[in-house]
Amino acid sequence: MQRWPVLLFLAWVCFLFFAGIGLFTSGFLLTRIELASRSSCSDPLLPPPWERQNLPTGSCWAPQRFPKAVLVIIDALRFEFARFNPTKATPLPYENKLSFLHHLVTSQPRHARLYRFRADPPTATMQRIKGLTTGSLPTFIDVGSNFATYAIQEDNLLAQLAQNGRRVVFMGDDTWEGLFPKNFFRSYFFPSFNVKDLHTVDDGILQHLYPTVDSGEWDVLIAHFLGVDHCGHKHGPDHPEMAKKLTQMNEMLRSLVDHLGNDTLLLVAGDHGMTETGDHGGDSEKEVNAALFVYSKTPLFGTGPPEKPEAVPQVNLVPTVALLLGVPIPYSNIGEVMAELFSGDGDAVSAALQQLSVYHINAKQVDRFLHSYSLVAQDLPAEQLQHLQELFSSAVEEHIRLLAQVQGATLVPPELESRLGTLIGRFQLYLREARAVCTQSWARFRPLRMMGGCTLIAASCLLCYMASELAAALDSFYRSCLLYPLLWGVVVAVLLGLAHVFTQEGLDLLLVSSWAAAASQVGFFWHWWGQYPKRARSVGSQPPLASIGLRQRLRAWLGLAFPMGILLFRCGAMFSDSFVVAEARVAPFLLASLVTLLVGKLHWDGRLTVPEGPKQQFLGFSSYRREIWYLLCFVATLLVCVRLSGFFHQCREEIPHCRPSLFLSPLASLRNTRAKNLFYLLCVALLAGLAYAVRSWLRHYGNLNSSDPLVLFVRWGFPLVVLCIACYWAVASSAEDSLGKLQELVQVAVVAFPWAVYGLASVGLLLLLCNPMTVFAKDTRESAGSIVTPSLGVPSSEVDFLHVIPQIYRRMQESQKSRLERGSYKATVAAYGLGSVYSAALVIALTLLGFLLMLLHSERLSLAFLLLFLEAFMLLHIHTRARGLAGDAEPFSVPWYAVISWLLAASQFFYSTGHQPIFPAIHWNAAFVGFHLDHSTNLLPAVLVGANTFASHILFAVGCPLLLLWPFVCEIPSSQKRKPKKEPQEELQEVEEHMMEMRLRESPEKFSNALLQLGLKYLFVLGMQLLACVCAAMILRRHLMVWKVFAPKFLFESLGFVVSSICLLLGISLVMRVDCAVSTWFSQLQLSRGGQTSCWASVGSGRSLLQELKMQES
């Protein structure tokens, strides 16, 4: 068996796809250009009334109104949490808890005001912090770095405060530490990533908040509380814990106001909202609708609050706070100043003039930014920039004329007020249109890169299809077909590298990889075009088309048209946002449709009726009627599993009236103790049932008879893993109820049990890698006749081995037959489990991975995982029975319908394990299974969250080789069938036909080609789905729903492709590792007998045994 060439070919194909994904991503998901310019006090942006005056000490651009400010950020403070509705008699847990804010607004209307604080998506914490400090708009791709924060290089409010000598003290979320290094006068950071921890950050802030405020050693104090956000993630907003947390925030604000001086501005803000499930990250109304509360002990507003709270974009906070504190507005700000905070205590005219001055400064700053940005980037439309410039110039000129008339006292108050109001409206129009232009234009695409990436992916799909057909027609084609493309790619990469060296330009590794991938694809197609059509014609054993009947041709065409039609329908529907939103229901429907069409095709072909003539047999299937009922039972069970999997759904906010499944929440969220206990017992029973089913299957096929370490681990390690998971579920579901010293013990157990599972699973996988053989060889020999070689001695040449191996195999069959019936032949060596050795290794690996992935999900999702394994088992049996009924004469080729149905099941269970291709649906809790404190690096939590998200992709990709192996495993021994008694010679001939998976080793080249063809088909189907998402994102990049639907779908599909392809390589590598171990086992068994070859027998590979021995000797 050629192992390395097959793996290298598949790895090369994966690299082609990866290069296409990277190139497309670099053209589709780009951040806007960040300018390095910074504002300063010397910038000529002063408005006419102040440009000839000396500003007070400590003021820049405008007179300082407050020397101190306190910014309290309550993470995920939705507007409904801050609003108080006195008419509600029975408020929800998150309603009417911040009563102190309502008290201040009603008792001091000119001192306090509540706003709707509109966040710009994505509503992830780091992006919101950037918006709150720079006044600019983070783009979509920034959400990917939410937990790998980078220092903000752009001009921002904290940098301006530090630059102008203000002492900034911070306490709370440690995300700020990575964003603003060395910008704080004093800081108290607390770990923020553990969303299960509701109190560490908040309690740490409260410990330092009041002493810091009383010390006076600060100018700006920022406190970022996380308890409300973490409570939403853990319990959701409608939970008693949320009421406790909001009440704690209410008392904190009450005490804080008592400690504030008259010269201090208090700002209480939420960085984003949350959905009904407590998540955020998208752009739904509840996610972008946060709260802002402004208060000062001195009057702030000239009038009372409006009837309905005003909606304010979050970026508006930056210019407002900057001018109130007397520092320059950050250079890249596009926010609009909240002018009502600059009204002062004068009459309406003086208040309007004051507001006009700050609007003038704000507009000048935005105009300067747009001018600088347009010089370095071309993504802002020129005609819109011209229109904005005209608006700005006319407003500034009108302001100058108006001020001249005011100084000349030529206007009466009523006319002056009217013109002031009109001019304020013009400045507001300019600032809002400027922000709208930037918002629309900062999806900056590179069409050439997008087209290049799309072309690479499409060419890779075509290559997969062609190579899979070649693998079926020609032996070992991949050796020469791999050499030339690799040479072409390496040559192009070297040439590009030398060109960059001589031109002294920066080396773009992504472009180099893409060009190398394209060159290697051209090399493959060129070599194929020049060589293999001739060989295919010379080899062609297919009859001419004219000799095939119309009905046969139609049947052959339909055999490919049905599964490909389902695949093309799924790919074409990726262009519909409605389909993407409803894909959780469509994927199961397509799977059920494909299986039903398969049964219909078998019926149309006449395969579901008992034939009148001799029965066609495939791998021992001789009774059509029984096989038909088996097939129908398997199909019915599959449809039930598909139906039941719909109970584990997650909702998207685009689907109204959808309620997420109750099974997604952990047992700890259940308030009914009896229900919690019943669910716990059910989950543990199902977990134990899975382990028992796997062990029973292995025992049935004889893979648990030996005393090897792997077999011992399956016997004793599996129950131990189940016990550790059950104990973890028990302590995790009752952690909130434990008290005192028991609480400390529970905290230790919550970490210890997952680590025990990690350790046991790692040991099992390591044993599987070191020695994957689960075969028990039993020597029951007595004296027997010798196996004869041509040289009448010990086999010493290839000719001898080719002569000996068939005798060895027949001797084992004779031994088995004599032991069962006649007893005339003397037994030699019985090898238990050899016929299922490949599948046994995969089943053990999948079980261990399943245990790990179930640990990373909530307890009740173990029901979904049980359905996953059961549905996969049904698909394998349907595939096997369908091939038997169809009389497939080529057992080494997996049909397209099996591969497509396997991948449809993987997509189905992506949704049925509580996931959706949107960021708010990511299960961040998985990052802390086995970890109590924060992580020191981002790699481990990324791996845990990724494994949780793509659990179905991992399991189905690793288990993909079972599609090839299962028909051989399900081969039914003749001795187990009811049939009339036959002559010994006929019965022995039938026994010889049943070799199960050892039949694969009879043809090593066909085995290698079969694995390669299966891998290429799997990558082709994955690639077609990816290509559809890429094309949809590219063509619909200006669609209204691109950032809400198509871009997240593309990202999740790309990550799913990467995970699936890597796991596919691992699954095929495991099969090849088992094949290597089987070869070693045969070699050792042969060598251990020496000249006594007559004393043993086994089922093995004849033609490759000598080659393997020579390799060992060398």
Cα radius of gyration (the chain): 36
Minimal CA–CA distance to 885: which of 642, 523, 629? Answer: 629
Give the Cα separation of 1019 and 8 in Å (integer).
Answer: 14
Give the Cα separation of 1107 and 1113 in Å (integer).
Answer: 10
Give the Cα separation of 287 and 77 in Å (integer).
Answer: 10
Strand 289-296 with 112-118, pairing: antiparallel
Residues 110 and 299: beta-carbon distance below 8 Å: yes
Residue 980 burial (CB count, 10 A): 4
Give the Cα separation of 1016 and 10 in Å (integer).
Answer: 7
pLDDT tens digits, 596-626: 988 888 877 777 766 544 444 444 444 445 6
For residue 509, with 0-12 CB atoms within 10 Å meaning exposed, 13-18 middle and 19 or more buried, which class applies?
exposed
Q: How far is CA 211 from the centre of its chain?
A: 44
The mean pLDDT value for 720-738 works out to 84
Give the Cα separation of 50 and 441 in Å (integer).
Answer: 35
**986 or 67, greater pLDDT:** 67
Buried b (16+ CB within 10 A) or exposed e, 104-126: bbeeeebbbbbbbbbbbbbbbbb
Residue 793: pLDDT over 80: no
Residue 714: band (very low, low, confident or very high) from pLDDT cuts 50, 70, 90: very high
pLDDT tens digits, 119-139: 887 777 777 888 889 888 766
- The reported pLDDT for the residue numbered 300 is 86
Minimal CA–CA distance to 871: which of 839, 903, 838? Answer: 903
Which of 451-460, 483-492, 619-628 is predicted least confidently?
619-628
**403 or 324, greater pLDDT:** 324
The mean pLDDT value for 553-575 works out to 81
User: For residue 649, what are its two tokens?
Assistant: 């759904």
The mean pLDDT value for 422-447 works out to 83
Residue 1114: pLDDT over 70: no
Give 513-567 as a DSSP string: HHHHHHHHHHHHHHHHHHHHHHHHHHH--SPPGGGS-HHHHHHHHHHHHHHHHHH
889 CB-near residues (< 8 Å, 6+ apart): 618
Residue 1034: pLDDT over 80: yes
- The reported pLDDT for the residue numbered 697 is 93
The verdict on whether omega for the bond into residue 122 sits within 30 degrees of 0, i.e. cis, is: yes
User: For residue 999, what are its two tokens?
Assistant: 């039949």
Averaged pLDDT score across all residues of the chain: 81
Helix (H, G, I), strand (E, B) or coil at 170: strand
Residues 992 and 1094: beta-carbon distance below 8 Å: no
Residue 1028: pLDDT over 80: yes
- The reported pLDDT for the residue numbered 811 is 62
- The reported pLDDT for the residue numbered 539 is 44
- Angle between helix 1004-1035 and helix 962-969 axes, rounded to 10 deg: 140
Give the Cα separation of 754 and 725 in Å (integer).
Answer: 7
The mean pLDDT value for 76-83 works out to 92
Q: Give the end-to-end CA distance of the chain in Å, rounded to a whole number.
A: 17
Residue 73: pLDDT over 90: yes
The mean pLDDT value for 1096-1114 works out to 33
**983 or 648, greater pLDDT:** 648
Give 330-361 as a DSSP string: PTT------GGGG--SS-HHHHHHHHHHHHHH
User: Which position has the token pair 């929800």?
Assistant: 92
- The reported pLDDT for the residue numbered 827 is 42
- The reported pLDDT for the residue numbered 784 is 45
Residue 876: pLDDT over 50: yes
Strand 311-313 with 112-118, pairing: parallel
Q: What percent of the chain has pLDDT over 90?
A: 38
Phi, psi of 607 (to 5 degrees): -90, -10
The size of the chain, in residues, is: 1114
User: For residue 214, what are its two tokens?
Assistant: 């009383």
Phi, psi of 387 (to 5 degrees): -65, -40
pLDDT tens digits, 532-559: 555 544 444 444 444 445 655 666 666 6
Residue 903: band (very low, low, confident or very high) from pLDDT cuts 50, 70, 90: very high
Minimal CA–CA distance to 355: which of 418, 293, 267, 428? Answer: 428
Q: How far is CA 34 from the centre of its chain?
A: 28
Residue 33: pLDDT over 60: yes
- The reported pLDDT for the residue numbered 175 is 82
Minimal CA–CA distance to 627: which of 880, 409, 353, 268? Answer: 880
Residue 1016: band (very low, low, confident or very high) from pLDDT cuts 50, 70, 90: very high
Residues 21 and 1027: beta-carbon distance below 8 Å: no
The mean pLDDT value for 1083-1087 works out to 73
Residue 846: band (very low, low, confident or very high) from pLDDT cuts 50, 70, 90: very high
104 CB-near residues (< 8 Å, 6+ apart): 111, 112, 257, 295
Residue 468: band (very low, low, confident or very high) from pLDDT cuts 50, 70, 90: confident
The mean pLDDT value for 491-499 works out to 83
pLDDT tens digits, 749-764: 888 999 999 999 999 9
Give the Cα separation of 325 and 65 in Å (integer).
Answer: 6
Residue 1108: band (very low, low, confident or very high) from pLDDT cuts 50, 70, 90: very low
Q: State pTM to two decimals.
A: 0.73
Residue 941: band (very low, low, confident or very high) from pLDDT cuts 50, 70, 90: confident
Residues 194 and 747: beta-carbon distance below 8 Å: no
Give the Cα separation of 161 and 321 in Å (integer).
Answer: 11
Cα–Cα distances in angstroms (integers) from residue 1085 to residues 22, 53, 73, 391, 1078, in the given order: 49, 100, 71, 90, 10
* Long-range Cβ pairs for the range 583-590 (8 Å, 24+): 583/907, 583/911, 583/917, 584/646, 584/649, 584/650, 584/911, 584/912, 584/916, 585/646, 587/904, 587/907, 587/908, 587/911, 588/642, 588/643, 588/645, 588/646, 588/908, 590/566, 590/904
pLDDT tens digits, 1042-1073: 777 888 899 999 999 999 999 999 999 999 99
**733 or 428, greater pLDDT:** 428
User: For residue 388, what are its two tokens?
Assistant: 């904005």
Residue 948: band (very low, low, confident or very high) from pLDDT cuts 50, 70, 90: very high
Q: Please, how many CA atoms are within 13 Å of residue 630, restricted to the half-sphere of its CB?
A: 19
Residue 1105: band (very low, low, confident or very high) from pLDDT cuts 50, 70, 90: very low
- The reported pLDDT for the residue numbered 956 is 96
Which of 327-341, 739-753, 996-1010 is predicted least confidently?
739-753
